[in-house]
Amino acid sequence: MEHFEQDLVEALRDVVKAGSWQCVGEAAKFKAPCTKLYSEDGEHIVLVRTEDGRFWAMDSSCPHEGGPLDQGDIEDLGDGKLALICPWHYFDFSLETGSSSTGLQNQVYDVRIVDGKLYINTQSSLSLYPVPVTKKATRDALLPTETKLDSSENTLCFWARKILCTPDPLEKVALTKKVQSWWDTGEITEIGECAPPAQPSRIDSLTVVEPGKIKRGKGGTQASRIALLHSLANIEQWAIDLSWDIIARFSTVKLSSGDSLPREFFSDFVKVAGDEAKHYELLEQRIKELGTSFGALPVHNGLWQSAAETSHDLLARLAIVHMVHEARGLDVHPQTLSRFAAQGDTSSVKILEVIYADEITHVAAGLRWFTYICSKEERDCLATFHDLVKLHFKGYLKPPFNIEGRKTAGMTEEWYVPLVKPAS
């Protein structure tokens, strides 16, 4: 029997060697519920150890907006079905299949233990430590010219900076509405220039924590719906700031043709800012109707990471924030809507429908100005977009895609399908 077991181990070793199995170390060393394993291609993996000693593996980035699943919780969804919960927006992913009740799908990997060593079936080389990456310089990055610290009160940039430095979200909303009206009616005529803050201001009473510290309630309850609405309100507050930041940060940008950005560019993002302010107001009011208020739950600043990552390059900002993240919002809308509809929450459903209709126009705005700049710069739009996403976005884009919503925004499949992980 002992000889038989030895032969079995040797046979398993041969299978591992012939396949795409990566040894990540002694299984006994992995005692934490979640361990992040780093890959050279940026498609990092989270190794999950459940209380019964079993191991599971899936992509560590949530397919929604890249939330860190390695900082999530493991929950029993009933009937012994275990799921890893994204700490950003509480989406659940089955440890066994990678499927989510939201309709999203995450990549899972087979895990085996051979002779006490733990193996994961992936073509990527894995490491317990981050892989050093030297980023290539962005080709002909569009950089704003040197900006002044102060700007006249009769310029759009003066008010953009003021809104970015306004911590109270309701004051931010009210001021956004005023500035949008002033711009639309011509009371503000000049774009101006300014130095935006490194990060927008937030009220002191807001509890800001690391994404992994945010906990969720069980699905299907009012508390769970409040948590999701609260998370969406946090997104909309950041979206207001992202709109004003793109105005302030890139107001003086020059294209290679020598042209400045046209007035219509700024008008589009003033409208986007106004829409996001409306969305925040609707969500905040709905949260109040459900007996609580914005700020009652912790929030995270993870959504500002993409702004910081693309602060030097307008094309990268348009690609990542408006053509990746906002487009992803279109993808998850049907499933999010169905979760609220299933609970008979028609008031929230109406708000989500308003947000969805507006977000389609926001994706369209990002796409319009991305293609405009590429045309002026005589760049290949698709190739430039694909290069920028690979440079600034973590990992691959993941289905399911809201093909109809994206198409309505002008984003046809050739924009995003090439960025999906190739089949092994």
pLDDT digits 0-9 by tens, 355-379: 999 999 999 999 999 999 999 999 9
CA distance 341 to 347: 9
Range with the lowest mean pLDDT among 13-22, 50-59, 260-269, 309-318?
13-22
pLDDT over 60 at 399, yes or no: yes
Rg of the Cα trace of the chain?
23
pLDDT over 90 at 185, yes or no: yes
Instruction: Determine the pLDDT at residue 129.
Output: 76
pLDDT over 70 at 299, yes or no: yes
- Which among 231, 233, 232, 218 is positioned nearest to 343, based on CA atoms? 218
CA distance 165 to 148: 17
The H-or-E segment that residue 419 falls in is none
Question: What percent of the chain clears pLDDT 90, i.e. is strictly above it?
Answer: 54
| Best-predicted range by mean pLDDT (57-61, 205-209, 327-331) | 327-331
What structural domains and CATH numbers belong to the chain? 2-124 (2.102.10.10), 156-419 (no CATH)
The residues facing 119 across adjacent strands are 23, 112
CA distance 93 to 99: 5
- Here the tokens at position 204 are 């002191």
Helix residue ranges, H only, 127-262: 156-164, 169-185, 222-249
Instruction: Determine the pLDDT at residue 149.
Output: 43
| Best-predicted range by mean pLDDT (70-74, 174-178, 203-207) | 174-178
pTM of the model: 0.74
Beta-carbon contacts of 241 under 8 Å, excluding residues fewer than 6 positions away, are 163, 164, 172, 200, 304
Average pLDDT for residues 71-86, to the nearest whole number? 83
CA distance 202 to 205: 9
Which residue has better confidence, 369 or 2? 369
Other CB atoms closer than 10 Å to residue 132's CB: what's the count? Answer: 6
Instruction: Determine the pLDDT at residue 69.
Output: 87
Average pLDDT for residues 72-93, to the nearest whole number? 82
Q: Considering the chain, what is the average pLDDT of its residues? A: 86
